[in-house]
Chain A
Amino acid sequence: MNSSRSAFPASVLALLGALFASDLVAQDPPAPRDVRSELKDRMKARYPLLEQARDAGKIGETREGEVKLVKATYATDKADAKDPAKGTVGELVEAENKDRQALYVVLAKELKLTAAEVAKQNGLRNLDKAKPEHWIEVNAQWVQRKTIKPVGQEKK
C-alpha cells in the first residue's frame, strides 16, 4: 500500500524530468557542423548559376568577400534562362550573401577571429580564383581580374 503511494510521485517526477530534458534538448541551438553542412549544401547547389552569371559579367566579387551585381539592371535578369523558377540574378546574389555572412560568423567563432576578417580572407581567395575576364570591385570601381596584380604577403 505504502509502496504504491511512494511509487506514484516517483513516476510523475520521472515523467516531468523526461519532459524537461527533452524540452531543453529541443531548445539547444544546432551544432556548428550542422549549420556548416546546411550552408554548404545550399551554396553548392547555387554555385553553377553563380559561375554562369560571373562568366556572363553580370556579377563580380568584392574584396570584402561578397558577391555583387556589376550593373543594377542585371538584378531582374533570370538566373537560369532555361528555368525561370530559379529566380533572378538579384535573388541569387542576395541568397548567396546571406549564406556567406552566416558562414563567416561560424568560421570566425571556430578560428577566434572576427567575421569581417574571415570575409576579407574569402575576398582574397575569390580574387585568386577568378578568371581573367571576371569582375572584381576595387575602391568602388569594377575592374577585370586581368588588370589586378597581387602582391604576396603570407602569415601563418
Chain B
Amino acid sequence: MLLCAGVPFAALVGGCLSHRVETAPIEIKPIHITMDINLRVQRELDEFFDFEKPAADPSATQPKERP
C-alpha cells in the first residue's frame, strides 16, 4: 500500500526537480617570455634567412583580452 503510493509520488517529485551545473569561466592566461635580443646576431640571422617569409602581423599574435 505504502509502496503503491510512494512510487507515483517519487516520480511526480522527481519530474519537477531541476539540475544545474555551474562552470566557472575559463581564463586563458598568456605565457610571458623575455626577449633578450642580441641585435648583432639577429642581423646575421636575418641576412642568412632572407628567403623566409616576413614575420606575421604582430597584432595577430597578441591574445585578445576578455571583456
B51 touches A47 (CB 8 A): yes
Counting contact residues on chain A (CB < 8 A from B), the size range is: 35 or more
- Name A's B-contacting residues (CB within 8 A): 36, 40, 43-44, 47, 51, 63, 103, 107, 110-111, 113, 117-118, 121-122, 124-125, 127-132, 138, 143, 145-156
Q: How far is the CB of B18 from chain A (nearest CB, A)?
A: 37
Q: How far is the CB of A124 from chain B (nearest CB, A)?
A: 6
B52 touches A117 (CB 8 A): no
Counting contact residues on chain B (CB < 8 A from A), the size range is: 20 to 34
A124 touches B36 (CB 8 A): yes
A153 touches B31 (CB 8 A): no
B35 touches A156 (CB 8 A): no
Residue of B28, B37, B40, B53 contacting most chain A CB atoms (<10 Å) = B37
> A155 to B36, alpha carbons, bound, how many Å?
7
Interface of A (DSSP majority class)? helix
A107 touches B44 (CB 8 A): yes
User: A40-B48, A107-B45, A131-B56 in contact; A147/B63 too (CB < 8 A)?
Assistant: yes
Top 7 A-B pairs ranked by shortest CB distance? Answer: A149-B30, A121-B41, A129-B55, A44-B51, A150-B35, A131-B56, A154-B37
Q: How far is the CB of B54 from chain A (nearest CB, A)?
A: 8
Q: How far is the CB of B58 from chain A (nearest CB, A)?
A: 8
- Residue B4 lies at the interface, judged by CB distance under 8 Å to chain A: no
Closest residue of A by beta carbon distance from B60:
A132
- Residue B12 lies at the interface, judged by CB distance under 8 Å to chain A: no
